[in-house]
Amino acid sequence: MIDLDNPEIHRKLDPSGMRERIRELPQQCLKAWQKALDFKLSSSYSKVDKIAILGMGGSAIGGDLLSSLNAIDGKVPISVHRDYALPLFVDAKTLVIASSYSGMTEETLSAFNQALATPAKKLVVTTGGKLKSIAEQNNIPVFTINYVSPPRAALAHSFFPLLGIFHKLGIVSDKSQDVAEMANVLKELQSTINENCPLKRNPAKQLATKLHQHLAIIYGAGFLSPVALRWKTQINENSKAWAFYEILPELNHNAVVGYEFPPEQAQRLFVVFLRSPDLHPRTVLRYKFTGEMLNQAKVSYETIDAKGKSALSQMMSLVIFGDWVSYYLALLNETDPYPVKIIDFLKKRLAES
């Protein structure tokens, strides 16, 4: 098996430096937060009763995290839309945000072009591309991302700008203390899970070795639901591996019934529970009882507990843990975590059509 403690392995299999992008995440969160606080936006943007975030892949997950966080104490509903069509509910009281790292995502461009014909407030988050050009031509504010990475590694710049802007507008509650706590939590956690921490003391490396040659299924609940999605997509893109995610308590009403068949697959599955003590007490019980059912089905599982007091800290602690796990799993699969050649192939075929 690949030696995850060997620096040469990291240099060989990760020549573009995905590990550096993951290591930078806490600092990038703070930079993006501060840039958002300095961003000028009319106070009229606070006079909305719903928010629609348009995005795909790594540019949409920040919206998912924000929507989940907002559901705890927010007053304005936030929804994320991954499609070519603009939601029909968009009206003058809607804020439409188009989030595309490249500015070239065709689904986002399609929906955003439709939004131009509506009286909705509009905002763009991007590095450039067609999306920025369209926004500038229509005098729409653009929050420009100045960070070079694959979209999935630019999570800080799809999530924290929105969190900071909504904080300034009063759409979400004051998150200043939560952001400060999160930075400390992530800094402390990083020292125990980054590539320099040896396998015997590194829980992220240990979990990656357990997931190796298994099908990963991630379980989350409540405000951790989008974090489970993040784990799934990071394993897909970084590790180049199959992965799925399920949400409690919903999975207790269907997925658990499927533990029986096919029985020969049980040994190839590995479930990861993402848990927080702040989830509903009945949901926390469901984690325990679902684990018992997995034991009966002879399916291996492990529980990863969130760190920190605030929901923001807990979400981001599990995000960065999952990012490192997906990185180590890529090395165990002897694949470069950085490129996503199959997506590039698909984009080429779509362009040809």
Q: Which residue spans within 167-241 are E strands per DSSP?
A: 215-221
| Residue in the structure block whose two tokens are 């629609």 | 52
Domain 18-174 has CATH 3.40.50.10490: yes
Consecutive sets of 10 residues in the chain, 353 residues long: mean pLDDT of each? 96 98 98 97 95 97 97 93 97 98 98 98 98 98 97 98 95 95 97 98 98 98 98 98 98 98 95 98 98 98 98 98 98 97 92 89
**Radius of gyration of the chain measured on its C-alpha atoms:** 20
Which helix (H) or strand (E) is 98 found in, with range?
Answer: strand 94-100
Which helix (H) or strand (E) is 241 found in, with range?
Answer: none
Q: What is the pLDDT of residue 305?
A: 98
DSSP state of 128: S
| Residue in the structure block whose two tokens are 């760190």 | 307
Q: What is the pLDDT of residue 75?
A: 86
Domain range summary for the chain, segments of one domain joined by +: 18-174, 199-332
Q: Is 298 one of the annotated active-site residues of the chain?
A: no
Question: Choosing from 237, 240, 246, 307, which is the catalytic residue?
Answer: 237
Q: Is 292 one of the annotated active-site residues of the chain?
A: no
Q: Is 157 one of the annotated active-site residues of the chain?
A: no
What is the C-alpha to C-alpha distance for residues 192 and 180, in angstroms, rounded to an integer? 20
The type of residue at 166 is: F
Three-state secondary structure call for residue 51: strand
What topology is assigned to 199-332 in CATH?
A: Rossmann fold (3.40.50)
Question: Choosing from 40, 253, 292, 352, which is the catalytic residue?
Answer: 253
The type of residue at 109 is: L
